[in-house]
Homo-oligomer: A and B are copies of this chain.
């Protein structure tokens, strides 16, 4: 079985974007966006999925995708806590509809109604609602909801503790994934995503906060940003800085969203097998085919097939690791 741990609903029907546009326009005096769910029909959802993610799943032999709202659209920096709550609830409910329409193919993962400078409690409430009431199996956490100004509490701050505690109680892992860069210094899916991935790993390493959260499991997307490429740098720095490299990061997992063979080979060489999760982020920031190979850039299964690793390691990366990291997946895979 092949489980893709990293997929977003990037192909939403037009009613979703129209609702969001209205919500944003209301922030500067426009009429309020409509009450109730997004004006989107099941047929529109089917059309948006069957020609996109579902088609690619079938082409590539992916059995199931952990499916969350489009990351770059979370936009936690937009508006205030109410803005973020109203948007997030609808986005999560929409993902739930997709997963209910295709229960064998997509398993729901939530975004949170984070808003810079506000309490984490609203996020804990939405986490509980999505997991306990809607059957979500994991959550995306944005550790920089400022959109690239990086001025909130770091991951070692007690600000995050209620969220860590709820995640452990509910037995769900979190993927650390930022959203759109509001700061124009960054390009969202390139420099911002990869800088964020790198930064959050270093925060976990330097603060050691996960040692106090004994069952917390975190996933860093995009192969961990710069981390595996600089594995030796961080091992060496840890000695000098007194960081516990192994202990502080042993429950951090890396997906395989690295879109060329040498990158995947390096990832598999330096990161312990049990901490690698198959992911492709399709349909994501990188679409289309590599003219050098004729395959999709994000067809990460091809790189995994070509990698010089034992078959049982490949199988763990495809399935067993995801089952261990996302225990609530089991009920969907029965």
Chain A residues near B (Cβ < 8 Å): 144, 148-152, 154, 183-187, 189-191, 194-195, 197-199, 201-203, 205-206, 222-223, 225-226, 228-237, 239-240, 258-263, 265-266, 269-270, 285-288, 290, 297-298
Q: Quick one: which of B144, B231, B261 contacts A260, CB cutoff 8 A?
A: B231
Chain A interface mostly: helix
User: Which chain B residues border A265 with CB–CB below 8 Å?
Assistant: 266
Closest to A207 in B: B187
Q: Quick one: which of B194, B229, B233, B286 contacts A190, CB cutoff 8 A?
A: B233
Q: Quick one: which of B148, B236, B240, B266 contacts A290, CB cutoff 8 A?
A: B236
Contacts A195-B199, A260-B231: A150 and B236 contacting too (C-beta < 8 A)? no
Bound together, the chains give a CA A154 to CA B263 distance in angstroms of 28
Q: Quick one: which of B201, B234, B258 contacts A233, CB cutoff 8 A?
A: B258
User: Which chain B residues border A290 with CB–CB below 8 Å?
Assistant: 232, 235-236
Contacts A258-B233, A263-B232: A184 and B297 contacting too (C-beta < 8 A)? no
User: Which chain B residues border A148 with CB–CB below 8 Å?
Assistant: 150
Closest to A303 in B: B232
